[in-house]
């Protein structure tokens, strides 16, 4: 009930329901595509304008949670329709996009809200490429020498990134790219 994209999909489907099932499916797909653009623009604009307060962190936390939930729901819990080879390829691409979005969301948090919770050593976290690289390294290897957490909040944030990466790469990606269990 708290997933904005699901609410918008339902609203779009309701608005075109009289035009048939194809119109409903098309409207829902359009909402998904618009939402994907919106979430990326939101994150980029917050980073560009240097927003780093409670509300911006809450928005990013919501985006991370909904990113994981949406892909878990649609690729693990409730797979709908037949999974032919083209659909499996598309699902793979979509999950990879979700992983990259997850990485960029955590990069934003490392660079802005939780910057002081890490020792950046000789690196400057004011350069957005440093927190982005740190986040990618955490995703790919589960650890990095770019920065180390210095507070409990830093440890928790790093743990959350490793956990969400694990969910995406082991559970969701595996289910999204196979026909088994459908």
**How far out from the chain centre does Cα 73 lie?**
13
Token pair, residue 51, equals 């927003």
* pTM for this entry: 0.84
Instruction: Per-residue pLDDT tens, the chain, 182 aa: give them.
Output: 678 888 999 999 999 999 999 999 899 989 988 999 999 999 999 999 988 889 999 999 999 999 888 877 666 656 566 666 776 777 778 888 888 999 999 999 999 889 999 999 888 878 889 998 899 888 777 666 788 899 999 999 999 998 898 887 777 666 655 555 44
Between the alpha carbon of residue 138 and those of residues 29, 71, 83, 174, the distances in Å are 32, 20, 32, 20
Round to whole Å and give the CA distance between 48 and 57. Answer: 14
Number of neighbours of residue 63 by Cβ within 10 angstroms:
21
Crossing angle, helix 85-111 and helix 21-48, to 10 degrees?
30
């Amino acid at each position: 009930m708290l997933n904005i994209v699901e609410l918008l999909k339902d609203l779009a489907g309701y608005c075109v329901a009289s035009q048939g099932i194809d119109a409903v499916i098309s409207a829902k797909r359009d909402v998904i595509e618009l939402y994907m653009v919106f979430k990326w623009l939101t994150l980029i604009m917050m980073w560009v304008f240097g927003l780093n307060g409670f509300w911006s962190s809450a928005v990013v936390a919501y985006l991370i949670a909904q990113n994981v939930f949406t892909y878990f729901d649609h690729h693990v819990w409730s797979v709908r329709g037949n999974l032919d080879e083209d659909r499996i390829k598309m699902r793979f691409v979509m999950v990879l996009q979700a992983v990259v979005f997850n990485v960029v969301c955590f990069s934003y948090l490392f660079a802005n809200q939780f910057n002081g919770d890490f020792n950046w050593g000789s690196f400057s976290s004011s350069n957005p490429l440093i927190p982005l690289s740190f986040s990618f390294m955490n995703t790919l290897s589960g650890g990095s020498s770019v920065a180390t957490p210095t507070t409990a909040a830093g440890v928790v944030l790093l743990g959350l990134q490793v956990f969400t990466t694990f969910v995406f790469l082991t559970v969701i990606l595996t289910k999204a790219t196979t026909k088994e269990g459908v």
